């Protein structure tokens, strides 16, 4: 396996699962099954999405749509957190945002999270590490099929454990009939990600935003997402305000990035700056997660070291991936 492929295979679970503290590093080190499972689910998912994007010559909008499809796959179709009222990470919502057996705050918020962090950020950082191969496929055809098979196997295994076994004694026996909603959403997002060709805006002579501006905007977007997903539901009896806030954030971010990408000179350093800002939020959150109130059953030691290591990597990449200075006029 080539280094770049292995890098993405590891980066995806590191950013998507370990960085936010969902599965702290020690939990993976002491449980080989959890380690292999997360590599198979997150890593194979990121590899499949990236390979499809590069083989078909698709853009960042398609990448985010396929990333959203992955988010629906993981949370809606595999671990069934959309539907399971006993899922520990959704207890704080107290039923807010639930309709037809689905918690829509959690569904929308985690779909956005996985699209941006688990998939887009992982691929962006991996490609920044190997810029010479950033625009080309990394897997042979059989490798893509193998990654797809690994993702399918991990998904079925996860569904068996989370959807049918883990919560059975607590009264949740299997995904409800509304499971078909997640299935339809995943299929629609996958179709859109593979088939839609988004019209490119007319090139703008204006320069793209400065890298530090993009980093700060990425950080601000992550803060707003966290506030809308985890704080705002506690301030209201209705689930509508958090849903409006999350949807508004998604539309605003989509619109701004679409405009920026049409500006002359917008490229990999700018994409890296955006995702670095998003990841910086979780890096800053690590001390709170590790040294704050203990999470039940989760050994949080090592999260700060993970955050510091990621911060060092992003700083190094930012120095290496600076945009070229515009050529002087003759």
Q: What is the pLDDT of residue 203?
A: 78
Q: Are residues 133 and 326 in contact, defined by beta-carbon separation less than 8 angstroms? A: no
Domain membership flag for residue 181: yes
The C-alpha atoms of residue 232 and residue 78 are separated, in whole angstroms, by: 27
* 327 within some domain: no
Question: Please, which pLDDT band fits residue 200 given cuts at 50, 70 and 90?
Answer: confident
Cβ neighbour number for residue 161 with a 10 Å cutoff: 14
**Residue 24 pLDDT > 90, yes or no?**
no
The number of domains in the chain is 1
Q: In which domain, by residue range, is 21 found?
A: 3-320
Nearest Cα neighbor of 135 from 196, 200, 44, 57 is 57
What pLDDT, on a 0 to 100 scale, did the predictor assign at position 328? Answer: 40
Does the residue 282 lie in any domain? yes
Regarding pTM above 0.85, the answer is: yes
Overall size of the chain counted in residues: 330
Residue 233 lies in a domain: yes
**259 occurs within a structural domain:** yes
Q: Is residue 330 part of a domain?
A: no
Q: Give per-residue pLDDT as tens, 45-100.
A: 999 999 999 999 999 999 999 999 999 999 999 999 999 989 999 989 988 999 98
User: Tens of pLDDT along 242-259?
Assistant: 999 999 999 999 999 999
Helix (H), strand (E) at residue 306:
helix 303-320
């Amino acid at each position: 396996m080539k280094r770049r492929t292995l890098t993405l295979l590891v980066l995806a679970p590191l950013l998507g699962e370990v960085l936010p503290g969902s599965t702290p590093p020690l939990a993976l080190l002491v449980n080989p099954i959890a380690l292999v499972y997360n590599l198979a689910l997150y890593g194979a998912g990121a590899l499949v999405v990236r390979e499809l994007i590069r083989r078909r010559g698709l853009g960042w909008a398609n990448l985010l749509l396929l990333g959203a499809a992955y988010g629906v796959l993981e949370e809606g179709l595999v671990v069934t957190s959309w539907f399971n009222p006993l899922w520990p990470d959704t207890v704080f919502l107290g039923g807010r945002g639930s309709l037809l057996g689905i918690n829509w705050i959690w569904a929308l918020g985690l779909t956005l999270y996985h699209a941006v962090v688990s998939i887009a950020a992982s691929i962006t950082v991996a490609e920044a590490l190997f810029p010479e191969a950033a625009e080309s496929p990394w897997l042979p055809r059989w490798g893509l099929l193998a990654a797809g098979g690994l993702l399918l196997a991990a998904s079925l295994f996860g569904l068996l454990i989370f959807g049918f076994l883990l919560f059975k004694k607590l009264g949740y026996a299997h995904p409800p009939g509304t499971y078909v909603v997640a299935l339809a959403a995943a299929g629609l997002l996958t179709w859109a990600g593979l088939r839609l060709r988004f019209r490119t805006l007319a090139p703008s002579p204006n320069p793209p935003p400065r890298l530090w501006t993009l980093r700060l905007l990425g950080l601000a977007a992550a803060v707003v997402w966290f506030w809308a997903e985890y704080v705002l539901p506690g301030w209201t009896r209705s689930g509508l305000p958090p849903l409006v806030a999350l949807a508004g954030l998604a539309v605003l971010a989509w619109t701004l990035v679409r405009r920026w990408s049409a500006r002359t000179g917008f490229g990999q350093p700018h994409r890296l700056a955006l995702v670095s800002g998003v990841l910086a939020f979780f890096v800053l959150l690590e001390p709170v997660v590790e040294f704050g109130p203990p999470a039940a059953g989760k050994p949080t030691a090592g999260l700060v070291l993970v955050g510091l290591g990621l911060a060092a990597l992003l700083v190094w990449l930012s120095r290496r991936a600076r945009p070229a200075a515009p050529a002087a006029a003759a």
